[in-house]
Chains A and B, each alone.
Chain A
């Protein structure tokens, strides 16, 4: 039985292109083939879950029913009422399947039956809808719009995370001929850049170099904290791999969306050129960090400010950062290194914020030129690479084994 995991090899793009041809011809003539698009989308999703992966497909169906019940149930409730506790229950219900899947490895050797590729990303979308229903910025939607948003196939497995109102507007309109021409050009450019990133650079760093450097670094597991030069090299090689692999995937997902006339938000904007950590989070995995900014950070600060829970504004922002990045850490998975990664970034951004305040106060005394600018980029880059070493889980292996 044929099984197609998204964007894993060049042949996948040949299938995409053949399937997309009628859609693209129609779009350039100002027509959207809604039915055909649905058939193509469902086809590619079904091919993700064929063969040994059939149980994940069943899990996806169960998941969609649960989320549909939660989100439409809350919509129905929200028409006439607006109690905070109902909102909280709806959010908890929407994240419950993901929480179960994330917690299962702590208690059992086999993964949860509820799990499937993409569950984290679908959960972001569902929770976002509950929050916007609460705010009144989403008032009504059809079951069809809900499903189309949740399982839009180019971004189903790993994002970027889109927003319901933005996505639906694109999906229900046809771009002008000139605008669509631009989108196709951008889409093709993204896909080819993605080839370079994921299949050449990501492959080189991740598949050619990383295992070798890792082996050498593991030889030093007896040293103090396992420190060695090989570990330093591992940190940089892993960081390059992580960036090119994920940025490459994201370029594929964005490029593919563009061919369908959907302007899925971009995920990366030269993150390693960031002069500080705050800026880094505006450039790295952007759709995730903006989601956390809008639906965790801002809501936490809004709540705390409104109810005057914390008087001091600086302390308030520090608490909000801590909550924000801790939740992000847990979202990656319930292991010590994901949680430490979250705490590390919370610490880094809190430090960064106090430095920015100091800088603002002493603007006259502090030098600012291209050398200080370059130094800032170098420092940020190294702090970020160190955080990725934590994130990689390699330290877990280096410190706690097993050793071969």
Chain B
């Protein structure tokens, strides 16, 4: 639960929008996220949750919606 809140907070910081009701929106298709934001997201995950995500691990197709980002973060945290 805590991870979900943190990820949504990071995403809100990056996109300027509350995505808690848009968990399945494609963030790249809607141009809410770009490569710069992505890098910032990876660094925030590291700083706030201690989850290390190397850049190679980041595959756009597996990280393109808030729901997928949350589940990736939860999987990497376990």
Q: Footprint of B on A, CB under 8 Å?
A: 131-132, 135-138, 278, 293-294, 297-299, 301-302, 305-306, 313, 316-317, 320
Q: Within the assembled complex, what's the spacing in Å between the Cα atoms of A299 and B43?
A: 12
Whether the pair B35, A293 counts as a contact (CB closer than 8 A) is yes
Residues in B neighbouring A302, C-beta threshold 8 A: 39, 42-43, 55
Please give the distance in Å from A95's CB to the nearest CB on chain B. 18
Interface residue B36 (Cβ < 8 Å from any Cβ of A): yes
Chain A residue at minimal CB-CB distance from B53: A135
Chain A residue at minimal CB-CB distance from B16: A360
Interface residue B38 (Cβ < 8 Å from any Cβ of A): yes
Contact residues on B (Cβ < 8 Å of other chain), bracket? 10 to 19
Chain B residue at minimal CB-CB distance from A132: B56
Residues in A neighbouring B38, C-beta threshold 8 A: 298
Please give the distance in Å from A83's CB to the nearest CB on chain B. 16
Q: Within the assembled complex, what's the spacing in Å between the Cα atoms of A317 and B57?
A: 21
Residues in B neighbouring A320, C-beta threshold 8 A: 36
Whether the pair A135, B54 counts as a contact (CB closer than 8 A) is yes
Please give the distance in Å from B22's CB to the nearest CB on chain A. 17
Interface residue B40 (Cβ < 8 Å from any Cβ of A): yes
Whether the pair B55, A294 counts as a contact (CB closer than 8 A) is yes
Whether the pair B35, A301 counts as a contact (CB closer than 8 A) is yes
Please give the distance in Å from A320's CB to the nearest CB on chain B. 8
Please give the distance in Å from B2's CB to the nearest CB on chain A. 24
Sample of 30 A–B contacts (CB below 8 Å): A131-B56, A132-B56, A135-B54, A135-B55, A135-B56, A135-B57, A136-B54, A137-B54, A138-B56, A278-B34, A293-B35, A294-B58, A297-B35, A298-B35, A298-B38, A298-B55, A298-B58, A301-B35, A301-B39, A302-B39, A302-B42, A302-B43, A302-B55, A305-B39, A305-B40, A305-B43, A313-B36, A313-B40, A317-B36, A320-B36
Q: Within the assembled complex, what's the spacing in Å between the Cα atoms of A297 and B42?
A: 14
Whether the pair B55, A306 counts as a contact (CB closer than 8 A) is no
Q: Within the assembled complex, what's the spacing in Å between the Cα atoms of A301 and B40?
A: 9
Q: Within the assembled complex, what's the spacing in Å between the Cα atoms of A83 and B38?
A: 25
Apart from A293-B35, A305-B40: 5 A-B pairs, beta carbons within 8 A: A132-B56, A135-B55, A136-B54, A137-B54, A320-B36
Residues in A neighbouring B54, C-beta threshold 8 A: 135-137
Partner of A299, one of B34, B40, B55, B57: B55
Q: Within the assembled complex, what's the spacing in Å between the Cα atoms of A306 and B55?
A: 13
Residues 31-67 of B contacting A (Cβ, < 8 Å): 34-36, 38-40, 42-43, 54-58
Residues in B neighbouring A313, C-beta threshold 8 A: 36, 40
Residues in B neighbouring A131, C-beta threshold 8 A: 56
Residues in B neighbouring A305, C-beta threshold 8 A: 39-40, 43
Please give the distance in Å from A304's CB to the nearest CB on chain B. 9
Q: Which of A301, A316, A317 has the most CB of B within 10 A?
A: A301
Whether the pair A301, B56 counts as a contact (CB closer than 8 A) is no
Please give the distance in Å from A364's CB to the nearest CB on chain B. 15
Q: Within the assembled complex, what's the spacing in Å between the Cα atoms of A87 and B36?
A: 23
